Amino acid sequence: MSEGTHRRLTSPRLVVASHNKGKIAEIRFLVAPCGIETVSAGDLGLPEPEETETTFAGNARLKAHAAAKASGLPALSDDSGLAVAALGGDPGIYSARWAGPDKDFARAMRNIEEKLQALGATTPAARRAKFVCALCLAWPDGHDEVFVGEVHGELVWPPRGAAGFGYDPMFLPDGHSRTFGEMTAEEKHGLGPDGGLSHRARAFLMFSDACLKG
C-alpha cells in the first residue's frame, strides 16, 4: 500500500500468532480495550513455524502469515527481543533461543551477565541495551501491516522483580528507577496520553492508530 495508508481491521476476532504465554497475555492486555476477541495459535492447535528470517519484522511476518492462512482469520504476531550494545546486538532475534528449549531465562540472563563481565562492562554506559518489538497483522489474503517499537535502557545485576517475563528483571528503562520485572502490566506498558513505555506498547500504539481507529 502507499505510504500513509493502512488497511483497517474490521474482524471482531483475531488470532494471536504465538505460543509464548507471556507474549499472549501482554497482547491480550493491549487489545482488550478495543473489544476484539482473541484466540491464540496454541488454542487453535496451530504449529509453530520455524523462525528462519534475519530480522524481527521478517519473523513477525512469517508467523502472522502462517497463522492467518491456517485459521482463515486475521492474525497478529509479535517477534521481539533484547539487543545488547556491548554484545553487538545479541541476543537479538535469538533472544528466546538463548533461554534454551526449557525457556530458562534465569540462565539466559546469567549468560548475558557473564559475557558483559568478561568484557569489563560494569558501568551503566557500557551496559546499554534496547528491547525491540515487531508486530505484524496479516490477513488470509496475504496482505500485512508491520509496526516496530523500541525502548532503550541499561542492564542491571542482579535481576530485580518477578513480574513480566523473559529478560524483564534485568532491564531498566531510561528515566525509571525500577526494572520491567518490578512493574505492573499497567506501569510497564505505560499506555496514556504521552504514549507507551514498553517496546510492545509502542508498536501496539502504531498498530492501533493505523489499523483500529476509524
Q: List domains and CATH numbers for the chain.
A: 13-211 (3.90.950.10)
Catalytic, 79? Answer yes
Tens of pLDDT along 65-103?
Answer: 999 999 999 999 999 999 999 999 999 999 999 999 999
Q: Single out the catalytic residue among 43, 78, 79, 102.
A: 79
Instruction: Answer whether residue 192 shows pLDDT above 80.
Output: no
Tens of pLDDT along 127-167?
Answer: 999 999 999 999 999 999 999 999 999 999 999 999 989 99
Tens of pLDDT along 17-30?
Answer: 998 888 899 888 88
Which pLDDT belongs to residue 4? 61
Vertex 134: Cα angle to 88 and 149 (nearest 5): 80
Starting at the edge strand that comes first in sequence, how are the strands of the sheet with 144-155 ordered?
Answer: 37-40, 13-16, 75-84, 128-138, 144-155, 171-173
Amino acid 3 reads E
Return the axis-axis angle of helices 21-31 and 199-211, rounded to nearest 10°: 40
Which pLDDT belongs to residue 213? 78
Instruction: Answer whether residue 1 shows pLDDT above 70.
Output: no
From CA 104, how far away is CA 98, in angstroms rounded?
Answer: 8
